Structure 1
Amino acid sequence: EELPRGERVLPSDVVGQINQMLEHVVVKGTGQRARLPSYRVAGKTGTVRKINPEGGYLEGHYLALFAGFAPANEPQFVAVVMIDDPRGEFYYGGQVAAPVFRDIMATALRLYSIPGDIEPAGREVVVMPQLKQSGA
């Protein structure tokens, strides 16, 4: 069966800029809980107040979301996590949905043996000076 052909709707430089912004959300923004040690991850958090059927919004009722993809440089998987009415102290998408995304994405990348695209954090090469051996 022949796959449908895609059509480019945005110039590649614009797509690159959007991807950089989405990566920034995970590296330094509200999506930091979606980070994976060996992969560049891109995504967006969202928090929505639930609508009151009688008008306005329901007090203390939310939808928490995180949508993202990995590896960011050559996406293999896309996922959207939506938590309806999270309970507990936290309700923002970056607090409750991003960690679920991280766990799902980590499992998918591992099961499909997708190689990492960055060095794990904290694994720096340290060059030690040569010490002279004492005569003692």
Structure 2
Amino acid sequence: MHNFVNDLAQFVSGKFSVRIEGNYEVVEESAQYLLHLIAHKFPAVHWKAMSKATHLRTFMELRLVDKSVSFIDEIPHDLLIKLKSLRVLSLEGIYHKGLPDSVTELIHLRYLDLSGAKMNILRESIGCLYNLETLKLVGCTNLQS
């Protein structure tokens, strides 16, 4: 029954949703939702493949291993510029230095999860995201301002 429900969900979502597991490198341009599943043996997201999905609205990363293990150090600056349609961005535990300025160009962003990030400063320019409804900073113990 589980396989049937999974197959049905994939059929209904079609090309608008992508779930990356393992070495999957194909992301359709029409994709609007991307769920990146990470298990201990899987590599990080293939940024080049993801940059083609310019209509992407959701990027979430789910870790199937210890959350202290970081597979992605940061998302490339030029990728964020291309993903202007993002509404949901989950970067839990990724950024160590601080968010790139390109995040402020995501004017449609409504949900930003930076939980567990090791950054010291949250730039004031984050206030330019006038559609932002939720900014999650759980466990950002190094955050000073």
TM over 0.5: no
TM class by shorter chain equals under 0.3
TM-score (normalizing by structure 2):
0.24
Structure with greater contact order relative to length (CA < 8 Å, sep ≥ 6): 1
Report the structure, 1 or 2, having the larger strand content.
1
Larger Rg: 1
